[in-house]
Structure 1
């Protein structure tokens, strides 16, 4: 039985109708966070091209880039989109994931649906739970969290993305941001990523319950994923230079 007509239709156009204005007048970070990321690119002389998420259905264009950046809230994904990213990583390329609650809801994309996707169900889906980024969505978290820096990883080596930040074990950073602190609203953690994400290294986490987990996940042939794990990450880049340096380190490493 074809139940497509009964499924929820989700627009892929931005801005969307429920981009709320939050006190004291800030625009919903789910929309404005992407603009803050693009501003950060410009401020830090990072060259970039923009694509829509659904462009991953015809991923030939990916081969010209060393790094794919996923922005603030890439929640709704088709299996074809996920496969394109997995194949990209398997070839030794890199993904920088600067958002939260990514690849959480499985959808179908139909040409006749126009700028919409059709949601498959109301439960988190297996395609997202396989953990291509090493983390999975933990849904809505507590706002106003901080990140807790871990300056060393396995073998006592310092995490490369923390170089130049001045952060030591136990330091807190990302306390303020455009809407909220760096870890909050909707966040990702390693819980549920399971055995399909071996070798994932967490080097920072939100200090409150269910806070974001900032991780690096190695992939075959030199590929890897940097995952900020929080929908509010991009909103904190201009408020804490250590946050900005972490992302700059990840971007420089990705293209090296």
Structure 2
């Protein structure tokens, strides 16, 4: 039986975004702060946008990379179309958020930064059930099999994205982190929504059965999507990041 539709704000930080000490699994707003700190520590120039800014995406083409933040689960059709067009034009996306582009929502254009969750019957709207699995955009899709089963990654193949890391085939990494080992919680795999996206290249994986897969999905005109979906914060709404400084 369906539920009623829910009106949800896309603003951040939302009311119950608690900042908690390291070691707590529910980091919420703190996960976004860690990302901003990493940008600052590594001299990466960035601008921040809200989700619904993708409804008027003229700004997007000026950026080398779009970096959705923690747990970018809920996407309107306009948001998804904007990112797909950006990638088709040679744009790049770094996706590390977990359970990304999983559910469709509707934008309330006349009610400020709000969306409606669930369809008109009150049922969840999964993109994969509409013939548009998230893997077609991101290279991976949410796979619930290893939910909350935390393990490190291991390198499967050499890849340019590993240059400078010192990692070789067979090496493990991500054994510890803010929320335990790196592969776990809500992970993405190439076949999480069925058939994998054409051309996706996987070069590392979480060592648990059906752990997270680290992949690159080539896109037209030199674009690509890098997906590394480890354990993530449970923040419900992403703020997208337009990054200028990536090569």
Q: TM-score, normalised by structure 2?
A: 0.82
CA contact (8 A) 2:154 2:207 kept: yes
Residues 10 and 114 of structure 2 are in contact (CA less than 8 Å); yes or no, is this contact kept in structure 1? yes
Match of residue 237 from structure 1: none
Q: CA RMSD in A?
A: 2.7
| Unaligned segments of structure 2, at least 5 residues | 234-242
Between Structure 1 and Structure 2, which shows a larger proportion of helix residues?
1
- Partners of 1:189 and 1:212 within 8 A in 2: yes
Is 1:146 the equivalent of 2:152? yes
Give the 3 Å change call, closer, same or farther, for CA 128–34 of structure 1 in structure 2.
farther
Instruction: Check 1:191–1:108 CA distance in 2 against 1; reply closer, same or farther (3 A cut).
Output: same
Distance change >3 Å, CA 130–CA 215, structure 1 → 2: closer
8 Å contact 1:19–1:31 — kept in the other structure? Answer: yes
Structure 2 residue matching 1:205: 3-state secondary structure: strand
Distance between the aligned counterparts of 2:196 and 2:82, measured in 1? Answer: 17
Choose the corresponding residue for 1:81, options 79, 82, 93: 79
- Segments of structure 1 that go 5 or more residues without pairing to the other structure are 153-157, 234-250
1:22-53 per-residue CA deviation (whole Å, 9 max, x = no partner) reads 78774723422111111001111111011111
How many residue pairs match? The answer is 229
Distance in 2 (alpha carbons) for counterparts of 1:222 and 1:97: 17
Match of 1:178 in 2: 178
The answer to whether residue 190 in structure 2 is matched with residue 190 in structure 1 is yes
Match of 1:203 in 2: 203
Distance 1:93 1:80 in 2: 17
Higher relative contact order (CA 8 A, sep 6+): 2
Kindly indicate whether the alpha-carbon contact (under 8 Å) linking 1:187 and 1:231 is maintained by their aligned counterparts in 2: yes
Shift of 1:203: 0.8
Shift of 1:211: 1.7
Distance 2:230 2:25 in 1: 17
Distance 2:228 2:167 in 1: 16
